[in-house]
Structures are given as C-alpha cells and as structure tokens.
Structure 1
Amino acid sequence: MHDFQFFGGGWMMFFWWFLIIALIVIIVKALFYSKPNREKYTPLEILERRYAKGEIDKEEYEKRKEDLL
C-alpha cells in the first residue's frame, strides 16, 4: 500500500505534523502577543508617561518640557 507516501511515511509524518503545529503557534503568538510600537508616541507623551509613573520629579519634568517646546 501507499500509506503516507506524500508526507514521506513513518517518522517523516511526525516531523511534518510538528512543523505544521510549530508554524501555527508562531503565527498565533505573532498576531496576539505583539508588543505595541513605542515609536508612535511623541517625545512629549513619553515625558508625560515618565512623570506619571514617578520616574522623574516635577522640576525635571518642567525643564524637559521647556526643552521640547
């Protein structure tokens, strides 16, 4: 008979199934777990976020805001 001859038969069948499942997992991770692009934020928005998080104090925030504007 010609069982699994298209996929190479025997152990090759397991290899192809592993490859197909791995590709599906990679595609799903790329679609659903991608990080947002940080370049879409303006420098002022980044500065405001840093101030809101408490990374910089008010004096430094005001100074850098003046520099940006």
Structure 2
Amino acid sequence: MMWGDGMGGGMGWMWLFWLLLIVGTTVLVVVLVTLLTGSRGGGSRQGGPLPPPTGAGPRRAREILEERYARGEISTEEFRERLRTLEEGDR
C-alpha cells in the first residue's frame, strides 16, 4: 500500500542519513584538529613526556627561582631554602 505520492517509504530513513552525516563530520573535524595540533592527550604517549636536556633542568629551575625572588614573590628565607634544596638535588 502506498502513501501519498509514493515517496513516504524512503523519507523514514532520511533521519538516519543526516545523523550519520553529522556524526561523521564531527569525528572528521576532531581527528583533523588532533592531528594538526599534535595533541596526544597530555603526555599519554607510550614513551611518556620527554626529559629536559641534560643539565638544563636544574639550571632553569635556579633561573626561575631567581626571577621569583627578584620580583618579590618569595622571601629571602624561602629563596635560600629552595636554593639549598636545588643544590642538594644536583648531587
């Protein structure tokens, strides 16, 4: 039995087509953005995050500590304590 002009049977499946089109487009956009930005979920790579170059970690930590002290973010007492901690970590 036909309804109306005979096109009613195919229209019932059109919602599925549009739903799949929207979902597919969304997945494609997410994949492209992930690939273009190089984001891998915050360090969830198999190898883990890369370590800093040898010797650069403690040196950079000391620079940051000196910058914070110069800006007045930490007291002299706290600066000396943290500096001592950094120097103990180098050994």
> What TM-score comes out, normalization by structure 1 length?
0.52
Give a deviation string over 1:14-44, Cα, whole Å, max 9, x none.
11111111111211232216276483234x6
**Deviation larger for 46-55 or 28-37:** 46-55
Of 50, 54, 63, the residue aligned with 1:40 is 50
Greater Cα radius of gyration, structure 1 or 2? 2
Q: Over aligned residue pairs, what C-alpha RMSD do you find?
A: 3.9
Unaligned runs of 5+ in 1: none
| Gap change, CA 1:64 and 1:48, over 3 Å in 2 | farther
Alignment of 1:43-58 (within 5 A): 45=57, 48-49=60-61, 51=64, 54=68, 58=79
Look up the equivalent residue of 1:45 and give its one-letter code: G
Look up the equivalent residue of 2:64 and give its one-letter code: Y
> What TM-score comes out, normalization by structure 2 length?
0.43
Structure scoring higher RCO (CA < 8 A, sep ≥ 6) equals 1
